[in-house]
């Protein structure tokens, strides 16, 4: 695992965006070989998306030969609802870049058969040759995507019922009305993300610090599903100072000490 | 075509690098157009897997809904009330020229005129029994109107490269007050003899294609006429009137929703009887209803301080109108309006030989700029006063006056000085500077 520790949210966003940009450029995608990218939603990756859009507008990166697979989507929420993950991706990313709709895959929470939708999603990932780089965030309870505590670490894309913590946290997007918050979601499994050739997790803010500690310094545990990536051959965790507050000083010093090496991956 | 054709394979245009007026704010968003309507790009992306055929770079300019002028009497030498010759051609000439001012829809206005003008201007569809009921003189007039040539008519019609669209006729008069007639010829004023349909039909012929009627509510028997007109979806506007506030409020209760050029041709605001002006803050407006008011913001018809008072009292109801006369667009000198002569001096147009104003010669974009400048309002508010508010007044805001998805793609491109640079109707460029 590489742990990238930066000063603040802005630096995290920039570092991550540059990393993704450089990875895509190095891969050199074309009409016969697409770069497959797994993508998250939420407030953590917003800054990264803004930066990617900036680089795209400057001509530094094109998404013409990039296929994206989002991690999750609410069940039963109309696709054009302002809080759906389709709306999020359109407004915060897709509408600003040159990606074609047929290359942007998001789970359909209104499919007539949710199970088939999940299976089809896995099949699409396989047909695309697997995911090159899966970008994700971490919940305060250590979940990756909607793989709530107790999710199998070898799980695949499926329907999940949301934990009360998650529902409460989401209420602010639904006028504070708990009855309006979706209770179920379709999500990629821990196993699905583990299959990616590289995994990149963003963690910012002190409210994520404990989850980061549990994910990195304790054992692999299905109660803190992000910990599964301790067993991934290419995992990158990008965080800000605030998120390191529950880590050991020794851990933080070690990874800060090798930042020079890590920063070579984000050169312009 | 770049879509899976599940909805349409018509070409899609994406206007980029622009700020569009949406949800009452200028936002850095692209504008998408297909088949003459504003397109929802998110639905296009997810439902149709579509994208734009071609992109138009707007150079960071502003895109606003096209202006709507609900009171315009003519221009460029054309007088809509002088139905001599080909009225349709005259209206078409003005319709084409006002594209340059950012006007994409308008209501050609007829001032107080003799009945034969109204009957000539509107197509006459009278059945025989009705003709027999009317006094002989009118039968004669109507028979005369059935001339072998095509009867000129002003129909509601879409705009396009030929000119701005017509949303309906504005009949300003003849049921107005003699003391507040302004430039209207006194001998053609009328009162309601019985009130209601009979007087209206006798005067106007028929009411198809009429969008607004200005009248003075203090005239006896006006209530029935107001109810009749509003019942038909025609906007009843109070103007050229001596009404006090309670008469005005009663008219609103009977269905009136507009005030013709506020402050002009009505009693001045008085603190113990606010008159028609008092409607702006009246507490006797029926719930769910709103009173709109026209303002001629040419710097001449209304003092900037008065404009500010009205705007601050009731910003949502402000509708910019030009009340433009024949001379708009023409050089200084004498010209005709209705049945009278007017005199142009600089930016002023007077009834010849008097100091009575006879309508303005400011263009709609000039009014928008002036309004913004003297009221200090936001760019958005200034633009909406000439687009959204008139559309709401006419009940057409579901397709005009906004840039909402699914509405008609009638819009203008302006620079930061609010100068119109390009005009589009149904997504097609119909004028550029």
Task: Tell me the per-residue pLDDT of B296-322, one tens digit each, with 9 for 90 and over.
Answer: 999 998 999 999 999 999 999 999 999
A214 touches chain B (CB under 8 A): no
Mean pLDDT of B313-339: 87
**Measured distance between the N- and C-terminal CA atoms of chain A, rounded to whole angstroms:** 23
Contact assignment for B30 to A95 by CB distance below 8 Å: yes
As annotated, the active-site residues of B are 323
Q: 3-state class of A152 per DSSP?
A: coil
In the structure encoding, which two tokens stand for residue A39, read together?
């993508």
Task: Give the pLDDT band of residue B85 (cuts 50, 70, 90).
Answer: low
CATH code for the structural domain at A2-267: 3.40.50.1360
Report the C-alpha dihedral over residues B417, B292, B22, B42, rounded to 10 degrees. -150
A253: alpha, beta or left? (left if phi > 0; alpha if psi -120 to 50): alpha
Q: 3-state class of A115 per DSSP?
A: helix
Three-class secondary structure assignment of chain B? CCCCCCCCCCCEEEEEEEEEEECCEEEECCEEEECCEECCHHHHHHHHCCCCCEEEEEEEEEEEECEEEEEECEECCEECCCCCCCHHHHHHHHHHHHHHHCEEEEEEEECCCCHHHHHHHCCCCCCHHHHHHCCHHHHHHHHHHCCCCCCCCCCCECCECCECEECCEEEECCCCCCCCCCCCCHHHCCCCCCCCHHHHHHHHCCCCCEEEEEECCCCCCHHHHHHHHHHCCCEEEECCCCCCHHHHHHHHHCCCCEECCCCCCCCCCCCCCCHHHHHHHCCCCCCCCCCEEEEECCCCCCCHHHHHHHHHHCHHHEEEECCECCCCCCCCEEEEECCEEEEEECCEEEECCCCCECCECCCHHHHHHHHHHHHCCCHHHHHHHCCHHHHHHHCCCCCCCCCCCCCECCEEEECCCCCEEEEEECCEEEEEC
A94 touches chain B (CB under 8 A): yes
Would residue A148 show up in a list of annotated catalytic residues for this protein? Answer: yes
Q: Which residues are paired to B137 by β-bridges?
A: none
Would residue A246 show up in a list of annotated catalytic residues for this protein? Answer: no
Q: Which residues of B41-72 are buried (b: 16+ CB within 10 A; e: fewer)?
A: bbbbbbbbbbbbeeebebeebbbbbbbbbbbb
Give CA–CA dist A56/A5, Å, rounded: 25
Mean pLDDT of B31-53: 95
Domain ranges within chain A, ordered by starting residue: 2-267
Task: Give the pLDDT band of residue B153 (cuts 50, 70, 90).
Answer: low
Average model confidence (pLDDT) for chain B?
Answer: 88
Q: 3-state class of A53 per DSSP?
A: helix
Task: Give the pLDDT band of residue B140 (cuts 50, 70, 90).
Answer: very low
More confident position, B98 or B330: B98
* Closest to A50 measured CA to CA, from A22, A82, A12, A83: A12
What sign does the CA torsion over A24, A27, A30, A32 have? negative
Cα B258 from chain centre: 11
Question: B42 CA to chain A: closest CA distance, Å?
Answer: 7
Question: A94 CA to chain B: closest CA distance, Å?
Answer: 9
| Integer Rg of chain B from CA | 22
Q: Which of B54-58, B147-151, B236-240, B362-366 has the lowest mean pLDDT?
A: B147-151
Give CA–CA dist B171/A122, Å, rounded: 66
Q: 3-state class of A101 per DSSP?
A: helix
CA B21-B23-B29 angle, 5° bins: 50
Give CA–CA dist B286/B302, Å, rounded: 28
Contact assignment for A90 to B45 by CB distance below 8 Å: yes
Which residues in chain A are contacts of B45 at CB distance < 8 A?
90, 94-95, 101, 104
The pTM of this model reads: 0.88
Q: Which residues are paired to A38 by β-bridges?
A: A69, A134
Contact assignment for B51 to A100 by CB distance below 8 Å: yes
How confident is the model over B162-209, as pLDDT tens digits?
Answer: 999 999 999 998 999 999 998 888 999 999 987 678 888 888 888 889
Point out the residue among B41, B48, B49 whose CB comes nearest to the CB of A95. B41
Point out the residue among A90, A100, A102 whose CB comes nearest to the CB of B42. A90
The length of chain A is 268
Question: B50 CA to chain A: closest CA distance, Å?
Answer: 7
ipTM of the complex: 0.92
**B92 appears as a binding residue in the annotation:** no
CB pairs under 8 A between A and B: 25
Tens of each residue's pLDDT in chain A, 268 residues: 999 999 999 999 999 999 999 999 999 999 999 999 999 999 999 999 999 999 999 999 999 999 999 999 999 999 999 999 999 999 999 999 999 999 999 999 999 999 999 999 999 999 999 999 999 999 888 999 999 999 999 999 999 998 888 888 888 889 888 888 999 999 999 999 999 999 999 999 999 999 999 999 999 999 999 999 999 999 999 999 999 999 999 999 999 999 999 999 999 8
Q: Which residues are paired to A185 by β-bridges?
A: A74, A160
* Closest to B388 measured CA to CA, from B316, B297, B308: B316
Report the C-alpha dihedral over residues B134, B85, B150, B187, rounded to 10 degrees. -10
**B264 appears as a binding residue in the annotation:** yes
């Amino acid at each position: 695992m590489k742990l990238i520790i930066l000063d603040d949210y802005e630096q995290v966003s920039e570092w991550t965006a540059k990393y993704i940009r450089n990875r895509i450029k190095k891969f050199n995608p074309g009409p016969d070989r697409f770069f497959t990218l797994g993508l998250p939603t939420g407030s953590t990756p917003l800054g990264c998306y803004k930066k990617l859009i900036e680089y795209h507008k400057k001509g530094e990166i094109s998404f013409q030969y990039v296929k994206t697979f989002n991690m999750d989507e609410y069940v039963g929420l109309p696709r054009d609802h302002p809080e759906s993950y389709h709306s999020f991706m359109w407004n915060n990313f897709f509408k600003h870049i040159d990606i074609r709709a047929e290359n942007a895959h998001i789970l359909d929470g209104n499919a007539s058969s949710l199970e088939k939708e999940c299976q089809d999603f896995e099949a699409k990932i396989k047909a695309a040759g697997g995911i090159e780089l899966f970008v994700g965030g971490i919940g305060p309870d250590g979940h990756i995507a909607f793989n709530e505590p107790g999710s199998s670490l070898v799980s695949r894309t499926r329907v999940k019922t949301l934990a009360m913590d998650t529902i409460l946290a989401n209420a602010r997007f639904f006028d504070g009305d708990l009855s309006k918050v979706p209770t179920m979601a379709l999500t990629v499994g821990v196993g699905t993300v583990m299959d990616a050739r590289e995994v990149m997790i963003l963690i910012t803010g002190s409210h994520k610090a404990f989850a980061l500690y549990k994910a990195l310094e304790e054992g692999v545990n299905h109660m803190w599903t992000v910990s599964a990536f301790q067993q991934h051959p290419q995992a990158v965790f990008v965080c800000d100072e605030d998120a390191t507050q529950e880590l050991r000083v020794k851990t933080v010093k070690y990874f800060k000490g090798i930042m020079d090496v890590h920063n070579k991956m984000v050169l312009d | 075509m770049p879509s899976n054709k599940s909805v349409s394979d018509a070409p899609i245009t994406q206007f980029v690098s622009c700020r569009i007026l949406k949800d009452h704010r200028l936002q850095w968003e692209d504008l998408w157009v297909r088949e003459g309507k504003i397109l929802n790009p998110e639905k296009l992306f997810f439902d149709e897997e579509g994208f734009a055929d071609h992109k138009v770079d707007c150079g960071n300019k502003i895109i606003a809904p096209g202006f709507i002028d609900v009171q315009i009497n003519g221009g460029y030498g054309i007088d809509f009330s002088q139905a001599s010759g080909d009225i349709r051609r005259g209206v078409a000439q003005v319709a084409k020229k006002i594209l340059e001012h950012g006007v994409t829809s308008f209501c050609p206005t007829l001032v107080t005129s003799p009945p034969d003008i109204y009957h000539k201007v509107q197509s006459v569809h009278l059945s025989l029994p009705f003709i027999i009921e009317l006094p002989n003189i009118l039968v004669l007039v109507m028979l005369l109107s059935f001339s072998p040539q095509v009867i000129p008519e002003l129909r509601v019609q879409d705009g396009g490269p030929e000119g701005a669209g017509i949303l309906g006729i504005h009949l300003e008069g003849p049921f107005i007050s003699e003391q507040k007639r302004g430039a209207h010829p006194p001998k053609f004023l009328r009162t309601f003899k019985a009130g209601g349909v009979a007087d209206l039909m006798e005067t106007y012929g028929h009411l198809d294609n009429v969008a607004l009627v200005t009248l003075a509510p203090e005239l006896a028997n006006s209530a029935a006429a107001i109810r009749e007109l509003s019942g038909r979806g025609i906007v009843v506007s109070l103007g050229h009137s001596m009404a006090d506030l309670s008469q005005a409020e009663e008219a609103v209760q009977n269905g009136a929703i507009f005030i013709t050029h506020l402050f002009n041709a009505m009693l001045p605001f008085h603190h113990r009887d606010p008159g028609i002006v008092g409607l702006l803050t009246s507490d006797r407006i029926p719930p769910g209803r709103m009173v709109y008011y026209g303002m001629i913001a040419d710097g001449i018809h209304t003092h900037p301080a008065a404009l500010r008072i009205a705007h601050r009292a009731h910003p949502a109801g402000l509708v910019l109108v030009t009340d433009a006369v024949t001379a708009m667009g023409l050089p200084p000198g004498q010209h005709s309006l209705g049945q009278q002569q007017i005199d142009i001096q600089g930016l002023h147009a007077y009834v010849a030989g008097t100091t009575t104003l006879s309508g303005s010669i400011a263009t709609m974009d000039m009014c928008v700029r002036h309004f913004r400048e003297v009221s200090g309002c936001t760019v958005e508010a200034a633009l909406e006063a000439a687009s959204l508010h008139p559309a709401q007044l006419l009940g057409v805001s579901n397709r005009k006056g906004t840039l909402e998805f699914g509405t008609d793609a009638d819009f203008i491109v302006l620079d930061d000085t609010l100068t119109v640079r390009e005009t589009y109707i149904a997504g097609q460029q119909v004028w550029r500077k």
